[in-house]
Amino acid sequence: MKRILRKSTTHLALIAVMLLSVMFLTNCSKDDDNDEVEPTNILVGTKWQDEETTWSMLFGGGKTTFIVLDFSSTTECELYLTQQGNIVKDMGKIKYKVEGNNVVFTKEDGTEVVYTIDGRTMKADSEYTVYGFNTKFVKQ
């Protein structure tokens, strides 16, 4: 009789451990199903500088001046001009969104300008660009 009780107790303990394991695993998988992965904005925290020096004629006073796009938030980009690494003109902010390899900037008048990212470069897809220049930006 003791032998039968020992076997029953061992079987009950094994069944209890198996049930607890199944409950634990079921609980973990439910939590994983409810977690939503937010898409990452690859531009946040990056700065991009133009390759052209067209702006030196307008604001440079003979010094090379660059346009810088500073992606400090997920929806707005700061624009400014720099000379020798110093900000010389704040050009405000522009709204943007990332769509795959494209960055869609929305100007104040509602016009959308699409730039395509290819590695460390960003180039306009059309003649309508940020501030009217067909500028190619390079990631800093």
SS (H, E, C) the chain: CHHHHHHHHHHHHHHHHHHHHHHHHHHHHHHHHHCCCCCCCCCCCEEEEECCCCHHHHHHCCCCEEEEEEECCCCEEEEEEEECCEEEEEEEEEEEEEECCEEEEECCCCCEEEEEEECCEEEECCCCCHHHCCCEEEEC
69 close to 82: Cβ distance less than 8 angstroms:
no
Min mean pLDDT across 41-45, 49-53, 54-58 is at 54-58
Q: What is the pLDDT of residue 67?
A: 87
71 close to 45: Cβ distance less than 8 angstroms:
yes
Tens of pLDDT, residues 58-86 = 555 667 788 899 999 999 999 998 888 89
Q: What is the pLDDT of residue 3?
A: 55
Min mean pLDDT across 59-68, 84-93, 105-114 is at 59-68
**Phi, then psi, of 8 in degrees rounded to 5:** -65, -45
Give the residue carrying structure tokens 């500088």: 49
The band of 50, judged by pLDDT with boundaries at 50, 70 and 90, is confident
Tens of pLDDT, residues 117-135 = 999 999 887 765 666 555 7
Question: For residue 54, is pLDDT > 70?
Answer: no
